[in-house]
Chains A and B, each alone.
Chain A
Amino acid sequence: MTKVAIVGLGYTPPRPLTPDVSYKEMIYEAAVKSYHDANLDSHRDIDGFVTCAEDLIEGTSIFDEYTPDQLGAVQKPMHTITGDTLHGLAAAVMNIQTGLMDIVVVESHSKASNIKTYPHIINYATDPILNRPLNFHPHTIAGLEMQNFLSHTKTTLEQCAAVVVKNKKNALKNDLSCYGARLTTREVLDSPLTFSPLTQLQMADHIDGAIVFVLASQKIAKKLSKKPIWIKGCGWISDSPTLETRNWNVCEYARLSAKMAYKQAKIKNPKTQIDFFEVDDTFSYKELQHLEAIGVYKEGTAGRACLNGDLDPDGKTPVNVSGGCLGVGSLLEASGALRTLEIIKQLRGEAGPRQLKKANTALALSWRGIPSTSGATIIFSRK
């Protein structure tokens, strides 16, 4: 199979509000930086483009219409993936592996601040006949899942709070973060109860921003970049969409998408073969649930590991050194892009004060959020 690398990245600094620029202008800024980073002579050298977006998040039906101009993609092969950035990256990898394209760009963004009725929008993703008439806030589903996770794995509330403490602390060293803080587990647990057992501080807040990556085939990647970061494996899986038939005890999208990626990347023992992890932490417990599902920790042990400091930047298995969604903020479908961005910086040795000593291979895991059971895993490597 053709090897594929990320050779360029560009982004706008994420902020909770971005009233000064339109989404097009925000994406343009990220694209110009990304193409420069990839040493492209011109945007005309790019063979294909992918945007990751959902209509109701944008507030525009057929949002695909408004994607080409700000990427220099006018009259080029371009399509939208209604998925997280990691899904978009997987699509770009496949485009290149067919041999049809050498350079493909993946864009994702969030203008979450422009959505005035976000809970209603998410509610439209629940079943219109069986769930919506019950009229519960969609985040209740996270409460249900967390309750089940705690009871099934014997993970404690304090362990979940420790995830928040760690990620918000990590975020203080990340100049992109919007929600870095020094907190104690007590403060996290004493914040207002939202969707029991979740408390306010255990839920990621939304931010605006755009991130653009340039991917290239092996042949081109080595010409363009001194530090290409290779995509060694990518997996994406969806479990049952209905609340009534999903297996609440097993996070199948994480387990199976990681399995798919491990197979491609020839990884037998993720804990020893992968140096650090950037996994979705939209809600505190999600980080622990994901780490257990992808086989880095056995069921019921990730929480203790977090409390012991094993997931810290200087621990055995650093997780969300970037600060994660809890510390940096959630970029909606571009959250996977934030995970990827941190990994590229670390693997290139450009992570500044957060730079890990050992950074050769890393794993990104994204989740499409409530009420979905869709997620994707990508494994990156310096070699």
Chain B
Amino acid sequence: MHLKGTAISKQDLDSGKVLFTRGDPHAHYTWDTGIGIGRYLEGLRKGKIFGTHCKKCNRTVIPPRAFCELCFSSNIEWRHLKDTGVINTFSICYVSWDAQRVQTPYLPAVIEIDGASKGHGILHLLDEVDPKLIRIGMKVKAVWKRPEERTGAITDIQYFKPY
């Protein structure tokens, strides 16, 4: 089978042997956070983690949402959850978001938040821990930014650390 396709190298581009055009995206958005995430971020600014509870499904979820995606009801209650949790899974990542190598690894984890139903967590980062010692099931606690530094964003929690 003869297959078409011409492989080129980075050098072919750098040397001008193969021509190309360049463009930098200028794509900007301001997303409306709405009711569910709006209140969640507002809570974070106050140093509180909120979830929502669906009575019909008897399920407390985080991130909170204005309706239950399973039973499709908007009959939900807001719940103040703890700022502690358990590591559901984690990684030790040596690559940045744009694929550059980093010396100090990122420690992303899914953290099941205490007060939410089992298995319900959020994506966040770990710190103040020796990467070799991180285990699934480890208890962790949020480390918050100082109140005056908080902006109503997921990064108002700097990271989670074992406690």
Which residues from chain A sit less than 8 Å from chain B, CB to CB? 18-26, 28, 31-32, 42-43, 56, 59, 68-70, 72, 74, 111, 113-117, 120-121, 124, 128-129, 132-133
Contacts and interface: CB of A to CB of B under 8 A. Distances in A.
A120 B32 contact: no
B37 A68 contact: no
Contacts of A132: 21, 23
Contact of B66 (A19, A28, A68, A116): A28
Given A22-B37, A25-B35, A28-B74, A69 B28 contact: no
Nearest to A25: B34
Contacts of A120: 25-27
A175 B65 CA distance: 30
A72 B72 contact: yes
B29 interface: yes
Given A19-B32, A20-B34, A25-B66, A43 B21 contact: no
Chain B interface size range: 20 to 34
Contacts of B32: 18-23, 111, 113-114
Contact of A56 (B27, B65, B67): B27
Interface string B30-50: 111111111000000000000
Given A28-B74, A117-B27, 20 more contacts: A21-B34, A22-B37, A23-B32, A24-B34, A31-B72, A32-B72, A43-B72, A59-B27, A59-B31, A69-B65, A70-B67, A70-B69, A111-B31, A116-B29, A117-B28, A124-B25, A124-B27, A128-B21, A129-B21, A132-B23
Nearest to A130: B21
B70 interface: yes
Interface of B: 21, 23, 25-38, 65-67, 69-70, 72, 74
A74 B34 contact: no
Contacts of B72: 31-32, 42-43, 72
A121 B28 CA distance: 9
Given A32-B72, A70-B69, A129-B21, A22 B27 contact: no
Nearest 7 pairs of A and B residues by beta carbon: A22-B34, A59-B29, A69-B69, A116-B28, A72-B72, A120-B26, A25-B34
Contacts of B74: 28, 32
A129 B31 CA distance: 31
